Structure 1
Amino acid sequence: MPTIHIYEAALCCDTGVCGVDVDQSLVTVTADVRSLQELGADITRHNLANDPTAFTGDETVRAFMHTVGSKGLPLTVVDGVTVATGAYPTKEALHDLAGLGTPATTSAERLDLGLTQKTAGGCCGGTGCC
C-alpha cells in the first residue's frame, strides 16, 4: 500500500474548529484522513508547528520548502513523489492515491466523527487550540 504524507503550514489546530473561524478544508481533510486510516491506509499529516523534523528529514519536502516555502503548503507526497501542492486532495483523490478506490463515506458520516461538534465553548478546554 502506498505511503501518503500531507505536510501542512503551522497550525494550532489540525481539525479546523479552533477559534471563531472554522476552516472547512481542515475539517474535511481531518475526516478524510481518519476515514482512510480506519481502512488501513498508511497516511500521516505533518504540521510545521508540531512536527518540524518531518519537514527537514525528507529531501522532497526540504527542497519544496527551500524553493516555494510555507506559502505553497499543504504538500501531499506519495511514496516520495509530490502529487499535490497548495490545497488538500479531495477524498476521492486520497482514496485513489491510497489504492482504495472510490470512497463510500457520506457527509452525514463525517458528522459522526465529532469534528463539527466542538464549536460550542471552543475546543481543547477553551484554550482555543486543539
Structure 2
Amino acid sequence: MKKMQIFEKAMCCSTGLCGVGVDPELLRVSTVLNALKKNGVEVQRFNLSSSPQEFVDNKVVNNFINEKGIDDLPVTILEGEIVLVGRYPTNGELMKLLNVPMSFLGEKPKSFKIKAAPKSGGCGCGNGDCC
C-alpha cells in the first residue's frame, strides 16, 4: 500500500472541524479519509498545532517549510515526495495517487440503462414467436 501524508496549517483541532463555521473542504477531506480507512487505506494527516514534531521529523516537509514557509500548506506527500502543495487533493486525485477504486468512497461507477424488453404474453418472447 502506498504511503500518503498530508501536512496542514495550524488548526484548533486535528481535523479543523470544530467551532461554529466548518470549512466544507476540511469536512470533505475528513469524510474521504474516513472512507478510505474503512477500506484499509490509511492516509496520515498532521496538523501543525497538534503534531509539530512530525513537521520537524519529516525532512521533506521541514525543508519545504524552511524554503517556502507555512503559507503554502497543506502539503501532500506520497512515498516521501511532495505531490501537491497549497490545496488538498480532490477525490479523484486521491484515488489515482493511491491506486484505489472510487468505490472505496462509496461512489458508484457510471451505470448504463438497459432497455426493457417489449411486453409479450408472459413468456418473454415478442410477437408470439416462442421457442
Provide the TM-score with structure 1 as the length reference.
0.75
Residue 93 of structure 1 deviates from its aligned partner by 1.1
Equivalent residue for 1:91? Answer: 91
Q: Which residue of 2 aligns with 1:19?
A: 19
CA distance in 2, matches of 1:80, 1:33: 19
Gap change, CA 1:21 and 1:76, over 3 Å in 2 = same
Aligned to 1:41: 41
> Using CA pairs below 8 Å that are at least 6 residues apart, which structure has the higher relative contact order?
1
CA displacement at 1:10 relative to structure 2 = 0.6
For the residues of structure 2 that align with 1:46 and 1:11, how far apart are their CA atoms? 10
In structure 2, the residue matched to 1:67 is 67
Q: Output the amino acid matched with 1:22.
A: V
**2-structure distance, mates of 1:12, 1:62:** 21
Which of these two proteins has the greater Rg computed from alpha carbons?
Answer: 2
1:62-111 residue CA offsets vs partner (Å, 9 max, x unmatched): 111111111110000000111111110011211111110334425xxxxx
Q: How many residues align?
A: 106
Indicate the residue corresponding to 2:4 in structure 1.
4
Output the TM-score relative to the length of structure 2.
0.74
In the TM superposition, residue 15 of structure 1 has moved relative to its aligned partner by 3.9
Structure 2 alignment gaps of length 5 or more: 108-131
What percentage of aligned pairs have identical amino acids? 34
- Map 1:117-128 → 2, pairs under 5 A: none
Distance 1:56 1:25, change over 3 A: same
- What amino acid maps onto 1:56 in structure 2? V
Does structure 1 retain, via aligned residues, the 8 Å contact 2:14–2:50? Answer: no
Contact 1:75–1:82 (CA under 8 A) maintained in structure 2:
yes
CA distance in structure 1 between the aligned counterparts of 2:16 and 2:24, rounded to whole angstroms: 7
Deviation at 1:41, TM superposition (A): 1.2
Root-mean-square deviation (CA, aligned residues, Å) is 1.5
SS of residue in 1 equivalent to 2:102: coil
Letter in 2 for 1:11: M
Instruction: Report the residue type matching 2:77 in the other structure.
Output: V
Give 1:82's aligned residue: 82
3-state SS of the aligned residue for 1:70? coil
Q: Separation in 2 of the partners of 1:89 and 1:58?
A: 20
1:52 corresponding residue in structure 2: 52
1:112 matched residue in structure 2: none
